[in-house]
Chains A and B, each alone.
Chain A
């Protein structure tokens, strides 16, 4: 981390999937680890998620999807971030995701993918090691 400020994380549930156990546990784990956490709530469109991410000046978006719609929803979030010149926001994903999809998601710009059984500590450590705080003041111009 280059600056002293706390990382801001948006844990988001894109699409129609209602499985929010993982997302809520992860949000709590990030909070307990000292991050500032925003939880999107259920049934968000990629547009809504990106809107919140920009409004809240987040550094990391964690997408959780267990419905199988990740191949549309995750890359769509990346696309919208690019459109908004906010590709410096790190995006990770998790859920029920076939292993063959993982390289495709990474190619689309998802930095890391976590599967069921993954440990909270790994996810928190990953964020600490890999997420740079975004320079919000500079981007907005």
Chain B
């Protein structure tokens, strides 16, 4: 990127600077012996053209919307349209969540994102004994299509895109969305959204578990195929690093494991469904965490796009440029927030959101200041939404595309993160791919070790958390928190009972039997799930069919 003359000047100037530096450090030593990112990648004092001398502008940086997409996936980025303000929300009953959705849309939110409670996430109805105490607590409780109809009441499904964080039971919740659209006379070609539907990272990190890995992957490939054919604007998978990071991984691990998961999914669809790669690859979407280290995160996002573009183009021989691009959603790091001096969490989230925007995210969720204590209150969630809106409209960062490009530090860190992530991907390839690596416990072990290492650094004061290991006051000022009604569980169970009582039971049972039969063939299961959902079979009734046929997965060995 630089002429020999420039590099000569760099060296000459560098020598001079080092002499000055020596004198200065002798008088006043640096604050720390070693400076490193949140993920403990060592950071040098200064970066110069020498650190990026092998970087090739056209090959490595280039232009947005053009291979290798380092600078963004669309040609006009935020000058064309801002990222989607998409707040992850769900609590209590379907009606409670519908109310929150309308509140947020009224405040300028531009996309919906659904948080389900744990029974829904794991494929249990609210009346299941294992669900006791969980109903509506960390998301919305959905048992049947009736709940889903309440959830989406007066939401224009053809006017807003909806993301659903749902994994093992993803086909069921997606089928509910499709059924509601159909009931409202909205064609499937008019609706858009995303189901997370990424089971590999569940085994690695988030741990909403249901079926063993192999049938899990089959269900995912079924949804990808069904979406490709019938719901062209839907992202049938959101390959997620977010939870990997929340579980304690480094930025490099988050990136590498996510891409390795993506490779596994593409491979399975190609092998199982014999689809042309360019027919489905443009709809693959991603989801990353934005943690506290500003430059590390920006570099991670830029490296992610460049790596996926290379994977799709060279490894999978995709020809459509849309197959090469990586579109992703970002959520600020929940794990970076603390309960002490909780109002400071607004500042953390602001920095993380800013990194996501500088990294070129397509949509963004910003955490609320009270989320270390409870689900967000209206007060807290509005500040969180406003945080992104201020970034979009007031501070000028969305005026030009990829303003960090050309920074010696950011380019060098982008290269370094990419290099380290390839090393992981190569190791995983050598193990026989991500499925095999997970069975060996490899990513799980790497993440647990990184999490412990980070915690030790906090304990030792090497990494600072304001209000925890520095400027701690002992003072406890807490904001008013959201309460989930105690009677909710009972009401929800009663509603589901009523649905079961009033539905055409014969039809429901027939649809479940048909699904069971389809499980034992190679047929795509989505049409059967749709029929079951429309017959008001419950989420658990459908998932029990799968558990029964494919077996239930339990985590066996745990690395401490």
Which A residues contact B (CB, under 8 angstroms)? 15-21, 24-25, 27-29, 31, 37, 39, 41-43, 45, 66-73, 76, 96-100, 115-121
The reply to whether the CB of B539 lies closer than 8 angstroms to some CB of chain A is no
Stretch of B44-52, B126-134, B296-304 on the interface side: B126-134
Q: List 20 A-B contacts (CB under 8 A).
A: A15-B133, A16-B208, A18-B206, A20-B247, A21-B246, A43-B130, A43-B209, A45-B129, A45-B130, A66-B138, A67-B118, A68-B137, A69-B137, A73-B132, A76-B133, A99-B481, A100-B481, A117-B465, A119-B459, A120-B459
A43 to B207, CA, bound (A): 9
With A68-B134, A71-B133, A116-B339 given, is the CB distance from A25 to B459 under 8 Å? no
Query: B468 touching A117 by the CB < 8 A rule?
Result: yes
Residues of chain B in range 433-447 having any CB-CB distance to chain A below 8 Å: none
| Contact, CB under 8 Å: B373 / A96 | yes
- Asked if A27 contacts B339 (CB within 8 A), the reply is no
CA distance A98 to B448 in the complex (A): 27
Given A69-B118, A116-B339, A120-B455, check contact A20 B373 (CB 8 Å). Answer: no
B58 sits at the interface (CB 8 A)? no
- Complex CA gap A92/B207 in Å reads 23
Contacts A21-B246, A97-B373, A116-B338 given; does A15 touch B134 at CB 8 Å: yes
Interface contact B372-A18, CB-CB below 8 Å: no
Contact with A along B450-469 (1 / 0, CB 8 A): 01100100110000010111
The residue from A16, A20, A72 contacting B122, defined by CB atoms under 8 A apart: A16
Question: Nearest Cβ distance between residue B144 and chain A, in whole angstroms?
Answer: 19
Q: Give complex CA distance A20, B208 in Å.
A: 11
Interface check B227, CB cutoff 8 A: no
- B196 → chain A, closest Cβ, in Å? 14
Q: Is the CB of B560 within 8 A of A27?
A: yes
In the complex, which residues of chain A have a beta carbon less than 8 angstroms from the beta carbon of B122?
16
Contacts of B206 in A (CB 8 A): 18
> Given contacts A41-B555, A115-B372, is CB(A21)–CB(B118) below 8 Å?
no
Please determine whether B118 and A17 come into contact, CB atoms closer than 8 angstroms: yes
Nearest 8 CB-CB pairs, A to B? A72-B133, A18-B207, A117-B338, A68-B137, A16-B118, A115-B339, A69-B133, A116-B372
The B interface, classified by DSSP as helix, strand, loop or mixed, is loop
Partner of B121, one of A16, A28, A39: A16
Dominant SS at the A interface? loop
User: Which chain A positions have C-beta within 8 A of B558?
Assistant: 20, 24, 39, 41
Q: Is B451's CB under 8 angstroms from A25's CB?
A: yes
Q: Is B308 an interface residue (CB 8 A)?
A: no
| Residue on A nearest B137 in the bound complex, by CB | A68
CB distance from A14 to the nearest CB of B (A): 9
Task: Note all chain A residues with C-beta closer than 8 A to B202.
Answer: 18
Once the chains are docked, how many angstroms separate the CA of A96 from the CA of B469?
A: 20
Query: How distant is B480 from chain A, measured CB to nearest CB, in Å?
Result: 10
Q: Mark B314-343, 1 if CB is under 8 A from A, else 0.
A: 000000000000000000000101111000
Q: Is the CB of A69 within 8 A of B560?
A: no
B208, B248, B478, B560: the one contacting A39 at CB < 8 Å is B560
